[in-house]
Structure 1
Amino acid sequence: MTETTEDRKKRLFYQSHHRGQVENDILLGRFVRRHLDGFDDEALDALERLLGEADVDIWAWVTDMQPLPARHDNEVFALLRAEANRKA
């Protein structure tokens, strides 16, 4: 059975809020709440690949502690980085 776009978004929403690192729960959760509804299939693919990464790596890339791998150099990550730099 093929996953519907709605079910996929629900799964990605859940995965973004239930990470192993509290900082990523907050960052990714806030990011997904703001942007998920507007994501097309390509953006959902990019988000899904990112959520498959380890929390420590995501945090290091967002905070520029480690260089961002080319596989995640896309519009979704640019939005995430902007979200991280956004004032609360």
Structure 2
Amino acid sequence: MTEPRDTRVRRLRMRSMRRGIKEMDLILSAFADANLASMTADDLDLYDALLDENDQDLYQWVTGQVPTPARFGALLDEISQTFQN
């Protein structure tokens, strides 16, 4: 059975707020609040996959400490811009 869109958005928002480190809670919850409702199903798929990544890796990618995997490049650029606004 397919997860209803509104349920999926709520789940992704919750996963964005309940990370392993506080910095990622702040960064991802700001992005989720600003963007999840308007994202396409494919965008939500990619964001869901991103949330499966390790917080330490995510933090280093968002802050530019290490190169971002190509798969997540555009999404992480958007996340970085959202948090900086």
TM-score where L is the length of structure 1: 0.89
Report percent identity of matched pairs. 33
CA RMSD of aligned residues (A): 1.1
**Structure 1 position 19, deviation (Å):** 0.3
AA matched with 2:14: Y
Q: Structure 1 residue runs of 4+, over 3 Å off?
A: none
2:78 alignment counterpart: 79
Name the residue aligned to 1:38. 38
Match of 1:25 in 2: 25
**Cα pair 2:18 2:25 within 8 Å, conserved:** yes
In structure 2, give the amino acid aligned to 1:17. Answer: M
Match of 2:9?
9
**Residues paired across the two proteins, number:** 85
Q: State the Cα distance separating 1:4 from its structure 2 match.
A: 1.0
Provide the TM-score with structure 2 as the length reference. Answer: 0.92
Task: Provide structure 2 residue ranges, at least 5 long, that are not aligned to the other structure.
Answer: none
CA contact (8 A) 1:62 1:84 kept: no
CA deviation map 1:44-63 (0-9, x unaligned): 01111110100000100011
Pairwise CA distance, 1:78 = 2.1
Q: CA deviation at 1:77?
A: 2.1
